A and B are shown apart, each in its own frame.
Chain A
Amino acid sequence: MDQLYQHLLNGLLLGATYSLLGIGLTLVFGLMHVVNFAHGEFYTLGAYALFAALAGASVDFFLAIPLAVVLGAAAGALCERVLLRPLRGESIDTVMLVMIGVWIAMQNAELLGWGGVAKSVPTPFSTRPVVLGSVSVSPLRLFVFGVSGFLILGAHLLLARTKLGRAMRATFQDRETAALMGVSIERVHTITFAFGAGLAAAAGALLGPVFLLYPSMGDLASLKAFSVVILGGLGNFVGAALGGLVLGVAEELGAGYISSGYRDAVGFLIIVAVLLLRPSGLFARAERVG
């Protein structure tokens, strides 16, 4: 029984970061209709940026994380401005293929820049786990959970309460009206994409120290992000937040009770199951057909 609680706890802690990943993608995929297969690469970028700041420039850990997020957001803004804006009217397939190109290019750039050997990120946290009754948790993971939760809350407030958030929601609900009301559609698109990339980079900077860094770490991150988005329903913020937690717990339970080798299969299986059985997502209201 204790094991169950431990798995659940681990799952929730991990899941919060998956929520971050998923929220970033649901905004881009759900609202902008960009099938961003490079989402995981912004995750990788965040992780390696953290590593570079710590190992290369000896930046303080707690400063390096926001730095990584900003870098991720900037990369996202650049990508949107240079590649996506010119293709605005094109079919969703063309954009998808372009993002696949970005995926390949970014990953191999990482490979060339950092080499294929996995790296570990030093953290200022003690490795001695904190014991809470029958479960234990490492301080690092608690920190990661805390920051993830903070960022998710921040993202929600930004979307729900700020002028920018209103502009974003307006643009994606009814672009023409939003434009007539004076919203700069172009800027909203760039900011939304940068926002998504920034959140992915945050997830990477947070999870990087927990696991190891290697150039293809983004592949699984992308898949898991899509898994969360599909679980929660396209463009559904709360759905993505909850979906991330579900994925985290499912993975931990799967790894604990079935086999750790198939851990990553959970994300895949979720995608397959949801797409085949309830394509609009677990948390979405039933959608109108036709």
Chain B
Amino acid sequence: MKRLGLLVLLGGAAAAAPAWVWNPYHLHTLIMAGIFAVLALSLNLLLGYTGQLSLGHAAFFGIGAYATGLLTVKLEWSPWLGLGASIAVPGATGWAIGRLALKLRGAYFVLLTISFAGVASLVSVNWMDLTNGPLGLPGVPAIEIALPGLPALSLRAKGAYYYLVLAAVTLCYLVCAALIRSRIGRALIALRENETLAESVGINGTHYLVLAATLSAAMAGLGGGLYAHYTRFVSPEVFLFSYTVTMVIMVVAGGKGTLAGPIVGAVIFTVLPEALRAIASWQWQMLLYGMLLIAVLFFLPRGIVPALQERVK
């Protein structure tokens, strides 16, 4: 009962945020936290449930951003279609990687994902004709809600965009929850716990890994699309490894294999840098994160959320 009350309180606070968060910069932080929550949830699908680590997840984030960026800037598509592409294109890529990777597990899978991200990054920098290279794509349009008969509602303002991101986080959470609380979730977890045993009782490892990779990539792509239409600028910096690093820390520290962990991790590691910004430079923070990751793995191996859940019991 207490837990439900807490959830309602948090939910209410989140829903009303634009009203009580006066500083627009803080609202910006919450929006970024939301985008990262989507990214963390996506990585968690793979790392937390199937047990496979993708260190190239920034690639799906980046491909999603570029997909919508290119389509809305160069082909002048509607931003909603662009968002759709930011889900579909990375999703298809994730599917392809999953199918190709077949028997690769553990470190080999990680290396494959890193290599893929590396190539994607190099392409975004070098293929000037397509991506404009390091100059990037400015002028990505803002998202508008245009219903017939009503004036177009632009989601340019932070308050409005916040609700879009909040809706996306909620949607992703619900999708993950629906998946996990079913036979599919058990199959994914079985892959993590004992793949040989899983196969022996009829669970098709490849099928479920591909499924997880596809959904995970699609979700990360959505994060990229949201990012593109928020910052309204896409450049090769979306492929920066530091994005992947941040995602990994959010998931591992927040609690991999839980549904709330990634969200908690995302909020902590978006708010914390902003709070520390005045005191410590970005390099100090990254240094701290590296050490924090090690500390969490030593002392709180299951993450913050499971540790709190243990306390409450």
Which residues of A approach B to under 8 Å, CB–CB?
Answer: 29, 35, 83, 86-87, 92-94, 96-98, 100-109, 111-112, 219, 223, 226, 230, 259, 261-262, 264-265, 267-269, 271-272, 275-276, 279
- What chain B residues lie within 8 Å of A96 (beta carbons)? 53, 107, 110
- Across the two chains, which residue of chain A brings its CB closest to B102? A276
Q: Which residues of B contact A97 (CB under 8 A)?
A: 53, 248, 252, 293, 297
Report if B100 contacts A (CB, 8 A). Answer: yes
Listed by A's residue number, 22 A-B pairs whose Cβ atoms lie within 8 Å are A92-B107, A93-B106, A94-B301, A98-B293, A100-B248, A100-B293, A101-B290, A101-B291, A101-B293, A102-B294, A104-B286, A104-B289, A105-B290, A105-B294, A111-B286, A223-B114, A223-B115, A230-B111, A264-B118, A265-B122, A275-B111, A279-B104
Interface pair A109/B287, CB less than 8 Å apart: yes
> Does B108 make an interface contact (CB < 8 A)?
yes
- A109–B115 Cα distance when bound, in Å, is 25
- Chain B hits for A92, CB < 8 A: 106-107
> Contacts of A276 on B, CB cut-off 8 Å?
100-101, 104, 112
Q: How many A-B residue pairs have CB under 8 A?
A: 113
Whether the pair B125, A261 counts as a contact (CB closer than 8 A) is yes
Among the listed B111, B252, B284, B297, which residue makes an inter-chain contact with A226, where contact means beta carbons less than 8 Å apart? B111
CB distance from B86 to the nearest CB of A (A): 24
Q: Nearest-CB distance from A272 to chain B (Å)? A: 5
A219's partner among B122, B241, B287, B297 (CB-CB below 8 A) is B241
B245 within 8 A of A: yes
Q: Cβ of B116 < 8 Å from any Cβ of A?
A: yes
Interface residues of B (CB under 8 A from A): 51, 53, 55, 100-101, 103-104, 106-108, 110-112, 114-116, 118-119, 122, 125-126, 241, 245, 248, 252, 281, 283-284, 286-287, 289-294, 297-298, 301
**Shortest CB distance B57–A (Å):** 13
Point out the residues of chain A lying under 8 angstroms from B111, CB to CB.
226, 230, 271, 275
Q: Is the CB–CB distance between A83 and B294 below 8 Å?
A: yes
Q: Are B103 and A279 in contact (CB under 8 A)?
A: yes
Contact among A105, A267, A279 with B287 in the assembled complex (CB-CB below 8 Å): A105
| Bound complex: CA A111 to CA B301 (Å) | 28
A101-B115 in contact (CB<8A): no
Evaluate whether A269 and B293 lie within 8 angstroms (CB atoms) in the complex, with A35-B110, A93-B53, A104-B245 already known.
Answer: no
Pick the residue among B116, B281, B297 that contacts A98 (CB under 8 A): B297
Which listed residue, B108, B126, B283, touches A262 by the CB 8 Å rule? B126
